Amino acid sequence: MSTSMEASTPAAHQGFADATMIDHESDLLQISLGPHHPSTHGVFRMDVVLDGERVVKLKPVFGYLHRNHEKIAESTTYLASIPYTDRLDYMCSLSNNWAYALSVEKLAGLQVPERAEYIRVIAAELTRLQNHASTIGFLMQEMGASGTPLMYAFREREKILDLFEALTGSRMMCNYMRFGGCRVDLPAGWLDQARKTVDEYPRFLDEFESLLASNEILLARTQGVGVLPPKLAIQGGVTGPILRASGVNYDIRKVDRYGIYERFDFKVPLGEHGDVYDRYMIRMLEMRESLKILDQALHQITPGPIIDPKAKIRGFRPKPGEAYGRIESPKGELGFYLISDGTPNPYRYRVRPPSLINLTVLEDMCLGSSLADTVVIFGTIDIVLGEVDR
């Protein structure tokens, strides 16, 4: 096979053509980290300029997983977009379902029965548990604890995925929520199984924490690293655990009180320093608060209908208008902006991706730190490329 096609190519891809070049004048080293890199959570890429070991410039490069989700959604029906929302943030498909269903409910003015609201809360909080556990597992992996913490996290994740599979039929791509409710009711014995999983979960957290929280290497690698001041966090539109680790009290579950979150007694953990350690710790604490919510929800849930009888799943045509709905997904504020023109397809379908917008401040957090720390700081932002690039 001739390789003339490659040879005749001009520097088609700047980043790769001069991926590693040394500028002898300034002693700065320009490197391209990704899109194939073990610690970039998929196909994320950053162009980094290093002075010795210190980062002096960092530009994220996106688009390696741009799957034209929005364009597809605009050429298909409202219902047919639900499976696509699963694949946005593929760690948390149920949260994505909820955000989308919530926006359509706002757009069309649908009500959700109480039981469905409970199921949604349970599903979303279970999602948060498994997401935060795996995030911390991946974070430890990036600090060099190769394998073990991630194995522990995935062991727990599998237990939650079993629950998802029993409920929705799929481990990851749940495609479960519908406008005005949920697709199917809980299977027999599911609640008992969920209670058992929730009751056992604190043991894992205690074990995890006793192994990690006072680990000398972990403290050295995280405390005072990648500090994000609260002002910058707000200015950069950062949401989710990262924002709260910087001490800003903004949790959409409390602010918007969507669903039935006002019924539950839970706290919003806040950080003080806004460093990597706080972002790690906030996730540990949020898991404990999620367990509190789950414990209440699993005991309060009562039988009833699971979908609004007025909701028309097929042939659904909302009145012309627009709506923006948002939830507190495990990554931050996940919003859907929908415009209806009265046809079965949305005129405009926009996802507000928390992962993408949280990366706005990545450069500010990384400047001056070493390249190894950059990987750790990046790990605490907790991005999923499916959502960043959509």
Partner 1 sequence: MNLEEIKSTLEAAIPGCSPQIVTNGSPSGQHSLLLDREHAFVAAMFLRDDPTLCLDYCSNVTGLDWLDTETSEKVKVTQLVDGVEKEVDEVRKTRTPGYLEAVYHLYSMQKKHGPLVVRLRTENRTDSVHLPSFTPIWRSAEFQEREVFDLFGIIFDGHPDLRRILMWDEFEDHPMRKDYVEPDDYEYEPTPHDAVLKKALEHRNRISTPDGQGA
Partner 2 sequence: MDQQLKIELSQQGIFATTMEELYNWGRKNSVWPLTFGLACCAIEMIATTMARYDLARFGAEVFRPSPRQADLMIVAGTVTKKMAPQVVRLYNQMPEPKYVIAMGACAISGGPFKQGYSVLKGIDRYIPVDVHIPGCPPRPEALIDAFITLQKKIDAQALTGEARPRHLRDDTPSEFPVPTYGAHDLQPAKNPTLWHITTNATSPKPLPTGTDESGRD
Vertex 151: Cα angle to 378 and 282 (nearest 5)? 45
Grouping H, G, I as helix, E, B as strand and the rest as coil, residue 61 is strand
186 binds, among partner 1, partner 2, none (CB under 5 to 8 A by kind): none
Dist. CA 73–CA 1, nearest whole Å: 40
Grouping H, G, I as helix, E, B as strand and the rest as coil, residue 272 is coil
Q: How many CB atoms neighbour CB 13 within 10 A?
A: 11
6 burial level (CB within 10 Å; 0-12, 13-18, 19+): exposed
Q: Verify binding: residue 211, partner 2, rule CB under 8 A.
A: no
Q: Which ranges constitute the DSSP H helices of 144-177?
A: 148-168
For residue 83, cis peptide bond before it (omega within 30 degrees of 0):
no
Q: Verify binding: residue 237, partner 1, rule CB under 8 A.
A: yes
Cα 247 vs. chain centroid, distance in angstroms? 20
Give which of 354, 358, 356 is closest to 377, Cα–Cα: 358
Among positions 77, 215, 296, 360, the unique one binding partner 2 when judged by CB under 8 A? 77
24 binds, among partner 1, partner 2, none (CB under 5 to 8 A by kind): none
Instruction: Provide the β-strand partners of residue 364.
Output: none
Vertex 158: Cα angle to 156 and 161 (nearest 5)? 120
Q: Verify binding: residue 360, partner 1, rule CB under 8 A.
A: yes
Selected range binding partner 1 among 44-52, 173-181, 198-206, 235-243, rule: CB under 8 A: 235-243
Q: Verify binding: residue 75, partner 2, rule CB under 8 A.
A: yes
Q: Provide the mask over 331-360, with x wherever binding to partner 2 is found by CB under 8 A and - wherever it is not.
A: -------------x----------------
Dist. CA 107–CA 44, nearest whole Å: 33
321 binds, among partner 1, partner 2, none (CB under 5 to 8 A by kind): partner 1
Among positions 68, 210, 223, 249, the unique one binding partner 2 when judged by CB under 8 A? 68
Selected range binding partner 2 among 63-71, 176-184, 286-294, 360-368, rule: CB under 8 A: 63-71
361 binds, among partner 1, partner 2, none (CB under 5 to 8 A by kind): partner 1
Among positions 55, 58, 101, 108, the unique one binding partner 1 when judged by CB under 8 A? 108
Dist. CA 194–CA 127, nearest whole Å: 12
Q: Which parts of 47-106 interact with partner 1 (CB under 8 A)?
A: 62-63, 66, 68, 70-71, 75, 106
276 binds, among partner 2, partner 1, none (CB under 5 to 8 A by kind): none
313 versus 367: smaller Cβ distance to partner 2: 313
Strands 177-178 and 54-61: unpaired
Dist. CA 42–CA 174, nearest whole Å: 21
Among positions 38, 109, 202, 304, the unique one binding partner 2 when judged by CB under 8 A? 38
Residue 201 Cβ, how far from partner 2 at the closest point, in Å? 17
Size of the site for partner 2 (CB under 8 A): 48
Contacts of 69 (CB under 8 A, 6+ apart): 84, 87, 88, 351, 390
Q: Verify binding: residue 171, partner 2, rule CB under 8 A.
A: yes
172 binds, among partner 1, partner 2, none (CB under 5 to 8 A by kind): partner 2
For residue 38, cis peptide bond before it (omega within 30 degrees of 0):
no
CB 159 within 8 A of CB 327: no
236 binds, among partner 2, partner 1, none (CB under 5 to 8 A by kind): partner 1
Dist. CA 251–CA 254, nearest whole Å: 5
**Tokens 């790769």, residue located:** 16
305 binds, among partner 1, partner 2, none (CB under 5 to 8 A by kind): none
Dist. CA 260–CA 262, nearest whole Å: 5
Q: Which residues bind partner 1 (CB under 8 A)?
A: 12-14, 62-63, 66, 68, 70-71, 75, 106-109, 234-238, 248, 250, 255, 318-326, 333, 335, 337, 339-340, 348, 350, 352, 356-357, 359-361, 389
**Interacting residues with partner 2 (CB under 8 A):** 1-6, 9, 12-13, 16, 35-38, 42-43, 63-69, 71-72, 75, 77, 83-84, 87, 90-91, 150-151, 154-155, 157-158, 171-173, 314-316, 344, 385-386, 389
